[in-house]
């Protein structure tokens, strides 16, 4: 994509309402635009990142055997009365014709449980797992951390259905492994740990949270630095000793919850009287699990974790483009060579953002490249042309280096 064609612009100043680093940098670089507190527009650069996060999550959920579907945003309040969740404080409500009470789904247990019930009757139909990537609505009281806490936000939610707790446990362990793969592919593998936590508003059982270590995180966990086991502060009675390996002490850390998984068991299936018939024709309640990933929160978390004083530093797997190309020195032959490089890369399927702006100064081009944070910066100028070369620098490297055109292209392939 050519930068001159992009309708968004970067800005030096952060919007006044942007309090967190992710909100500031994403807004300054033109990735998002805040509509109101906790509600964002995803602009072309930001949407590319969001889609890449979705793609990774989708591949891993498909590999787990999840079947993707898309459930509605609007649901009748009556379904929430069945589970008792009509009283939760973050629920957004609206009204249909004849004053029918509607809810904007904060998650989809009340939709997915009766939906799957329509198709699943016997042990033969189980286990099964469905997932979606969809917008959720929660009237969060403190929507001040940019994408970390939205009132309208994007989540991947998966729900699994089983004949027994054993079968749920087996699937749950596989889901845990897949979740690790997701965070590793996002570049957050080393920073993301599994914490035991309470089931929150969903269940009395323990849940597992995927917590990305980050000083600005809202959550506090106790981490065993020997075996990486973590426990959320909210359930930790004794954090002197690791419950898994016995090492002590556990270290207090701040973290961002980027996903969590619950064994719902029969909480929702009994509310909807969802049962299956076993081999002998006897009916039993279906056993259920649920598995969430904060897609848009992850975009914010990646910025919080990977940035410096100049801007964002995207991991290659989710960067909006792989290469940020520019010609410097207001020079015809440098421009022609950059055009050629852009064509070559694009034809080879390498995603390149080409800063082809004629009026932008060298300083503007360089500071925009740092702000936007694309992994590779490639510069062509009269100076590099004199060496028959281009200058390559990775966003997280200090020093640039010269490379021949052929080398440059093969490195970026
Ligand atoms: P939190 O404890 O942060 O309020 P939660 O425990 O209520 O989140 P779930 O309902 O399990 O979260 O949602 C699954 C995932 O969706 C969370 O792990 C988180 O990554 C993300 N998420 C939850 N609430 C928000 C929000 N308001 N904005 C953005 N992402 C969210
Ligand atoms: Mg939570």
Closest residue by Cα to atom 25, ligand 1, is 149
Same domain for 257 and 177: yes
pLDDT in tens, the chain (413 residues): 999 999 999 999 999 888 999 999 999 999 999 999 999 999 999 999 999 999 999 999 999 999 999 999 999 999 999 999 999 999 999 999 999 999 999 999 999 999 999 999 999 999 999 999 999 999 999 888 999 999 999 999 999 999 999 999 999 999 999 999 999 999 999 999 999 998 765 556 679 999 999 999 999 999 999 999 999 998 877 777 888 898 888 999 999 999 999 999 999 999 999 999 999 999 999 999 999 999 999 999 999 999 999 999 999 999 999 999 999 998 999 999 999 999 999 999 999 999 999 999 999 999 999 999 999 999 999 999 999 999 999 999 999 999 999 999 999 99
Domain contains 317 = no
Ligand 1 atom closest to the Cα of residue 300 is: 29
SS3 of the chain: the string is: CEHHHCCCCCCCCCCCCCCCHHHHHHHHCCCEEEEECCEEEECHHHHHHHHHHHHHHHHHHHHCCCEECCCCCEEEHHHHHHHCHHHCCCCEEEECHHHCEEEECCCCHHHHHHHHHCCCCEHHHCCEEEEEEEEEECCCCCCCCHHHCCCEEEEEEEEEEECCHHHHHHHHHHHHHHHHHHHHHCCCHHHEEEEEEECCCCCCCEEEEEEEECCCCCEEEEECCCCCCEEEHHHCCCCCCCCCCCCCCCEEEEEEEEEEEEEEECHHHHHCCCEEECCCCCEEECEEEEEEEEHHHHHHHHHHHCEECCEECCCCCCCCCCEEEEECCCCHHHHHHHHHHHHHHHHCCCCEEEECCCCCCHHHHHHHHHHHCCCEEEEECHHHHHCCCEEEEECCCCCCEEECHHHHHHHHC
How much distance in Å is there from the Cα of 257 to the middle of ligand 2? 7
Name the domain count of the chain: 2
Domain contains 71 = yes
Same domain for 371 and 264: no
Specify the pLDDT at position 203: 53
Domain residue limits at 334: 323-412
Q: Name every protein residue with a CB atom under 6 angstroms from any ligand 1 atom.
A: 107, 138, 140, 149-150, 153, 155, 200, 257-260, 292, 294, 296-297
Specify the pLDDT at position 218: 96
Q: Which of 179, 232, 260 to mutate to test the pocket of ligand 1 (most atoms within 8 A of CB)?
A: 260
Same domain for 350 and 265: no
Closest residue by Cα to atom 26, ligand 1, is 149
**Which of 271, 305, 339 is the C-terminal boundary of a domain?**
305
Residue 59 sits in a domain whose CATH number is 3.30.930.10
Closest residue by Cα to atom 3, ligand 1, is 257
**Which of 244, 277, 305 is the C-terminal boundary of a domain?**
305
Specify the pLDDT at position 344: 96
Same domain for 258 and 114: yes
Closest residue by Cα to atom 6, ligand 1, is 200
Domain contains 313 = no
Domain contains 318 = no
Same domain for 253 and 158: yes
Domain contains 170 = yes
How much distance in Å is there from the Cα of 182 to the middle of ligand 1? 17
Domain contains 311 = no
Specify the pLDDT at position 239: 76
Domain contains 310 = no
Specify the pLDDT at position 221: 95
Same domain for 155 and 78: yes
Q: Does pTM surpass 0.75? A: yes
């Amino acid at each position: 994509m050519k930068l001159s064609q992009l309708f968004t612009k970067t800005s030096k100043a952060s919007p006044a309402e942007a309090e967190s680093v992710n909100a500031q940098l994403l807004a300054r670089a033109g990735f998002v635009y805040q509509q109101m507190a906790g509600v964002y527009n995803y602009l072309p650069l930001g949407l590319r990142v969001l889609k890449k996060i979705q793609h990774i999550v989708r591949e891993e959920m498909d590999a787990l055997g999840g079947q993707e579907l898309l459930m509605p945003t609007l649901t009748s309040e009556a379904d929430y009365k069945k589970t008792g969740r009509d009283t939760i404080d973050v629920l957004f409500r609206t009204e249909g014709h004849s004053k029918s009470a509607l809810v904007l789904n904060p998650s989809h247990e009340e939709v997915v449980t009766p939906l799957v019930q329509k198709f699943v009757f016997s042990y033969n139909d189980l286990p099964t797992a469905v997932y979606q990537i969809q917008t959720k609505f929660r009237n969060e009281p403190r929507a001040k951390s940019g994408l970390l806490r939205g009132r309208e936000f994007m989540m991947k939610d998966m729900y699994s259905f089983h004949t027994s707790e054993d079968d749920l446990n087996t699937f749950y362990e596989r889901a845990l492994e897949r979740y690790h793969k997701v965070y590793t592919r996002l570049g957050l593998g080393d920073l993301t740990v599994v914490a035991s936590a309470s089931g929150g508003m969903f269940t009395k059982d323990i849940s597992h949270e995927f917590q990305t270590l980050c000083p600005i995180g809202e959550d506090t966990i106790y981490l065993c630095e020997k075996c990486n086991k973590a426990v959320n502060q909210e359930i930790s009675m004794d954090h002197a000793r690791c419950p898994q390996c016995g090492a002590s002490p556990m270290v207090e850390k701040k973290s961002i919850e980027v996903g969590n998984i619950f064994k719902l068991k029969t909480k929702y299936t009994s509310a909807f009287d969802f049962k299956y018939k076993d081999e002998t024709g006897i009916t039993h309640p279906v056993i259920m699990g649920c598995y969430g990933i904060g897609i848009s929160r992850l975009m914010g978390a990646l910025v919080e974790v990977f940035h410096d004083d100049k801007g964002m530093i995207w991991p290659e797997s989710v960067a909006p483009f792989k290469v940020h190309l520019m010609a410097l020195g207001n020079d015809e032959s440098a421009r022609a060579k950059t055009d050629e490089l852009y064509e070559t890369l694009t034809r080879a399927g390498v995603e390149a953002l080409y800063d082809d702006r004629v009026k932008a100064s060298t300083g503007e081009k360089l500071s925009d490249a740092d702000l936007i944070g694309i992994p590779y910066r490639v510069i062509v100028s009269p100076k590099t042309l004199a060496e028959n070369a281009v200058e390559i620098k990775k966003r997280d490297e200090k020093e640039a280096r010269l490379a021949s055109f052929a080398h440059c292209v093969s490195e970026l392939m």
